[in-house]
Amino acid sequence: MAGEIQGAYQIKITTIALALLLASRHNKLARVNILGHLIKSNVGITTRSKAKSASNQWVMLPLPTKRKKHFGEC
């Protein structure tokens, strides 16, 4: 049971640390690129077999752009 408490505590601490980092609006965060949205392919119907063999392609966005998209101008 101690492992479950430890895990929940670690998640909470990590979430708070990430929130504080994003709230700092440090200039170097503007240089961090993250996954934006999935690029849809126009090959017609995607079967399970096609989906398994094809790799997903994502649009890369700067972190501040993604943050504004999801959380607004907080």
**pLDDT at 2 exceeding the cut of 60:** no
pLDDT digits (tens, 9 = 90+) for 26-73: 999 889 999 988 888 777 777 888 777 777 788 999 988 888 877 776
| 22 plus 41 within the same structural domain | no
Same domain flag for 5 and 21: yes
pLDDT at 66: 83
**Pair (9, 26) in one structural domain:** yes
47 and 21 both lie in a single domain: no
Do 59 and 36 form a contact (C-beta atoms < 8 A)? yes
Q: What is the pLDDT of residue 4?
A: 47
- State the total domains in the chain: 2
User: For residues 53 and 49, what is the distance between their CA atoms, to the nearest angstrom?
Assistant: 6
DSSP-assigned states of every residue in 2-55: HHHHHHHHHHHHHHHHHHHHHHHT-GGGGG-EEEEEEPPP-SS---HHHHHHSP
Per-residue pLDDT tens digits for 4-37: 446 888 889 888 998 899 889 899 988 999 998 8
Looking at the fold, whether 39 and 6 belong to one and the same domain comes out as no
Domain of 68 in residue numbering reads as: 32-74
Q: What is the pLDDT of residue 57?
A: 85
